[in-house]
Chain A
């Protein structure tokens, strides 16, 4: 299998900074000892909620629960996330993802049950949804799922691109993760991944001065699961470019069932730097996607080549259910008074014949 770039380990990063120091530990202890006691704080304000309002809230909660009951984990996240773009994405993922077999349940030593519920591959990313039961916090344990997923039995891991999780009232954690799918894995039909459950168990120990302290030691437990990688949707690609007097722009668009990925590459033709951090009026600051004239909001993005003559902007958008006829990438310029979209410099791609 082809190797890909591996991020340095946690220990390698930590070794960049000074090691543990007793003077620091003593200073922290002294600061904690100097804190005023619990009672010194202000009292919480008690809010009175009217009986009518309480009943209305209860009925609304029951109605929401009834709706949520028919949803998969992606669907439940769609109901809860504050981001409109992600909410649409999760809704689409809930509909299109592969539902994993119930036998993938894994009970770990601490009593939590981890279950990968859904998976979806759009050609570039692997999305997974999961549930972790028994996640009520206790005084002795702090349990959480790591953000990385390792290729089974190795230290190679998939880079995380996005993720979200939420603890429900019944102690079940529901969450999703989006991983970058390396080129070498794109033709596989499934991969075995190790998900890592961390437990920060706290122990009583004695320090040099005889004081009892509670220290957390992180223990990790790997949970191996076969994840289907069959690409669920067909990826369509489009390309268009335009040349102006001072720059050339080429736009590549990849549309999957759930996302629209836009890559705009700009080349300066007169040697002026692009994507400068400190802009002056009249300089291009960004570019945006418009679907049938409606501006879209990216859910993630990145830049390469800032302040050079070869600038690339990549952004992901949630794909609407119905594809538009016309897709435009329009540059946005910085002006004395704010910003200005220059429609005359739009790069247009027709997805359907007008």
Chain B
């Protein structure tokens, strides 16, 4: 993978990586930090990364960076509950339903329906098998459907 290839791919994926990071760390500053940390970490290990698998690899690196940031925050200020999001979305019902999904279901759902990741890419990004991803996506969809229908009623 050349630096040019890496730059091109990062520029294409950056908006997506930012949203994924934000969905975990819930503020813009930390989301930006996580993406930057991941970009440096992946480039440092570029000899191990096949270009065709860069997208799931980068996504995983961003999620790992988010967790590092969360752990550091937790050490500094112990929090019992997830912090409030710094951004108020226009469709509060959808955002609220998505936020209520546990992370193990929320991430596959967002990667698939928000970012258009294919199942194999989600499996690569989350370090899970295809059957695990498909069943989590299935469960996430069912739960989201129920929550949105309840909200509508």
Question: Is A344 part of the contact surface with B, judged by Cβ < 8 Å?
Answer: no
Q: Is the CB of A17 within 8 A of B22?
A: yes
Q: Is the CB of A8 within 8 A of B119?
A: no
Chain B residues, CB < 8 A from A23? 32
Q: Is the CB of B113 within 8 A of A7?
A: yes
Q: Is the CB of B91 within 8 A of A15?
A: yes
Q: Is the CB of A18 within 8 A of B11?
A: no
Other-chain residue from B47, B144, B149 in contact with A41 (beta carbon distance below 8 A): B47
Question: Is A303 part of the contact surface with B, judged by Cβ < 8 Å?
Answer: yes
Q: Is the CB of A159 within 8 A of B8?
A: no
Q: Is the CB of A162 within 8 A of B119?
A: yes
Chain A residues, CB < 8 A from B7? 32
Q: Is the CB of B112 within 8 A of A147?
A: yes
Given A8-B94, A24-B18, A300-B11 contact (CB < 8 Å): no
Given A17-B19, A159-B141, A300-B135 contact (CB < 8 Å): yes
For B103-117 the 0/1 string (1 means CB < 8 A from A) is 000000010111110
Chain A residues, CB < 8 A from B40? 31, 34-35
Q: Is the CB of B138 within 8 A of A161?
A: yes
Question: Is A279 part of the contact surface with B, judged by Cβ < 8 Å?
Answer: no
Other-chain residue from B3, B28, B119, B137 in contact with A37 (beta carbon distance below 8 A): B3
Chain A residues, CB < 8 A from B95? 16
Chain B residues, CB < 8 A from A12? 91, 94
Question: Is B69 part of the contact surface with A, judged by Cβ < 8 Å?
Answer: no
Given A10-B113, A38-B3, A200-B134 contact (CB < 8 Å): no
Provide the main secondary structure of the chain B interface: helix
Distance in angstroms from B92 CB to nearest chain A CB is 9
- Chain A residue nearest to B37 (CB atoms) is A31
- Chain B residue nearest to A301 (CB atoms) is B135
A14 to B94, CA, bound (A): 11
Question: Is A164 part of the contact surface with B, judged by Cβ < 8 Å?
Answer: yes
Q: Is the CB of B12 within 8 A of A17?
A: no
Among residues 128 to 185 in chain A, which have CB atoms less than 8 Å away from a CB atom of chain B?
137, 142, 144, 146-147, 159-165, 167
Chain B residues, CB < 8 A from A167? 52
Given A14-B114, A16-B91, A17-B23, A213-B139 contact (CB < 8 Å): no
Chain A residues, CB < 8 A from B71? none
Q: Is the CB of B32 within 8 A of A15?
A: no
Given A16-B98, A18-B28, A38-B12 contact (CB < 8 Å): no
A160 to B112, CA, bound (A): 10
Among residues 29 to 64 in chain B, which have CB atoms less than 8 Å away from a CB atom of chain A?
31-32, 35-36, 39-40, 43, 46-47, 52
Among residues 74 to 97 in chain B, which have CB atoms less than 8 Å away from a CB atom of chain A?
86-87, 89-91, 94-95
A36 to B45, CA, bound (A): 12
Given A16-B91, A24-B32, A215-B12, A162-B113 contact (CB < 8 Å): no
Distance in angstroms from B98 CB to nearest chain A CB is 6
Which 4 pairs across A and B sit closest by C-beta, in order of nearness? A13-B114, A216-B12, A16-B95, A16-B89
A to B CB contacts below 8 Å, 25 in the list: A5-B148, A8-B94, A10-B116, A13-B114, A16-B94, A16-B95, A16-B114, A17-B18, A17-B19, A23-B32, A24-B18, A28-B14, A28-B36, A31-B36, A31-B40, A35-B39, A86-B130, A86-B131, A137-B52, A144-B118, A160-B119, A160-B137, A161-B138, A162-B119, A164-B119
